[in-house]
């Protein structure tokens, strides 16, 4: 009974904090979309006038693009360097709510619910699920996603969690429908942010999981082909407006080549930024890639970042060093490879702080899994 009350108290705190953040930032969700403002901002920005001192933020650019896409504009004509799925979701938010930020609130809530669902099924402990949801909700990066909206990372996080949930069930039962759902999650994942990087990240993760699980080579190849076929079909479907504008497959692949060229021709000296994410994580010293590569500080950084990272790693090591229920072992085998691969990814690429969202959430899930194994027996029942 005490456990149930404690679980309820945690969930009430999470719900209260979520609502509190929305209430104190209510202007973000009540300010109506103004097409003229965003259009004028874009037309006088660095994207149209290279030497312009007027900067359009990512949030403003995604808002304008989403509105234009949902009204039928070809997605390769505006902000083509980022896939259109997240911006379509922003556009839908504008159409239904006359505001671009509501979509971020909806998907933040979905991420919390999916986090709780995954942990509840794996640990069979509502308390462990509540702890995992709490860790996600109190992270300032997660909060930033729906109070400084709209950004694309919250959408990508949702599709990652869908893929995790489906992969867990597929490996647990080998039912093909879960492979299909995983390909949808993967398709959403690669259709939200930079395609070729997200595609490589997703494939490296899934292939590593299959390898760790000692999947037979033939089955591994077959499953990877099926997942990629589904994910890429999803990615193609996201460009439906391009094809409605009589775009061809040849032109589509030409546009993808342009995106790769756009990023590869960047003047950023990536080697100067290798491993800089570690300083940002632990010391709030962010080396930005503007002229002179200055060291700046991120205003939403707090001690919870390094502390939760360290304690999360300790929990993972404890988890690996003890006998755990099969379900917990399986989720660990799914999340730990992603966590390791994503650290390598962050070591190499120039990072924005919001990239850490996909670093922390898998770690919090693993920490909650460890919490759920405390006091459990070999069958996976938790108190």
Mean pLDDT, the chain, rounded, equals 93
pLDDT at 376: 58
pLDDT digits (tens, 9 = 90+) for 188-213: 999 999 999 999 999 999 999 999 99
Buried b / exposed e over 16-27, threshold 16 CB at 10 Å, is: eebeebbeebee
Q: By mean pLDDT, which of 50-54, 104-108, 180-184, 301-305 is the weakest? A: 50-54
| pLDDT 10s digits, 334-347 | 999 999 999 999 99
What is the 3-state composition of the chain as percent helix, strand, coil, each rounded to the nearest 5?
70, 0, 25
Grade residue 43 by pLDDT with cuts at 50, 70 and 90. very high
Q: What is the pLDDT of residues 66-75, one digit of tens each?
A: 999 999 999 9
Measuring CA to CA, which residue among 144, 149, 140, 155 is closest to residue 31?
149
Report long-range pairs for 205-208 (Cβ below 8 Å, ≥24 apart). 205/337, 205/338, 205/341, 206/163, 206/167, 206/182, 208/337, 208/341
Is pTM, for the whole model, over 0.85?
yes
CB 306 within 8 Å of CB 282: yes
């Amino acid at each position: 009974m005490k456990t149930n009350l404690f679980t309820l108290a945690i969930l009430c705190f999470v719900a209260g904090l979520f609502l509190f953040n929305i209430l104190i930032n209510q202007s973000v969700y009540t300010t109506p979309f103004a097409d003229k403002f965003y259009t004028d901002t874009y037309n006088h920005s660095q994207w149209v006038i290279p030497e312009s001192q007027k900067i359009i933020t990512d949030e403003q650019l995604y808002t304008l693009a989403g509105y234009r896409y949902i009204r039928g504009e070809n997605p390769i004509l505006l902000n083509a360097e980022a896939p259109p799925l997240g911006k379509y979701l922003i556009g839908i938010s504008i159409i239904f709510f006359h505001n671009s930020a509501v979509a971020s609130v909806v998907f933040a809530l979905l991420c919390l619910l999916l986090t709780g669902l995954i942990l509840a099924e794996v640990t069979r402990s509502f308390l462990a699920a509540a702890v995992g949801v709490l860790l996600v909700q109190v992270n300032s990066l997660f909060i930033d996603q729906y109070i400084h909206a709209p950004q694309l990372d919250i959408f990508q996080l949702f599709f990652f969690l869908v893929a995790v949930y489906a992969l867990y069930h597929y490996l647990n039962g080998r039912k093909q429908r879960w492979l299909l759902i995983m390909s949808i999650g993967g398709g959403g994942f690669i259709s939200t942010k930079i395609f070729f990087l997200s595609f490589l990240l997703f494939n490296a993760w899934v292939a590593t999981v299959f390898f760790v699980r000692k999947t037979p080579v033939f089955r591994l190849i077959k499953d990877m082909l099926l997942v990629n076929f589904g994910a890429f079909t999803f990615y193609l479907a996201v460009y439906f407006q391009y094809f409605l504008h009589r775009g061809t497959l040849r032109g589509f692949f030409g546009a993808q080549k342009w995106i790769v060229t756009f990023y590869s021709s960047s003047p950023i000296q990536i080697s100067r930024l290798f491993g800089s994410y570690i300083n940002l994580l632990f010391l709030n010293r962010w080396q930005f890639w503007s002229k002179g590569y200055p060291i700046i500080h991120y205003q939403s950084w707090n001690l919870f970042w390094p502390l939760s990272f360290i304690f999360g790693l300790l929990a993972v090591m404890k988890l690996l060093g003890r006998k755990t229920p099969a379900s917990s072992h399986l989720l660990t085998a799914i999340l730990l490879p992603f966590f390791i691969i994503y650290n390598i990814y962050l070591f190499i690429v120039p990072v924005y702080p919001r990239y850490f969202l996909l670093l922390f959430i898998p770690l919090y899930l693993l920490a909650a899994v460890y919490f759920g194994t405390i006091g459990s027996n070999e069958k996976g029942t938790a108190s």
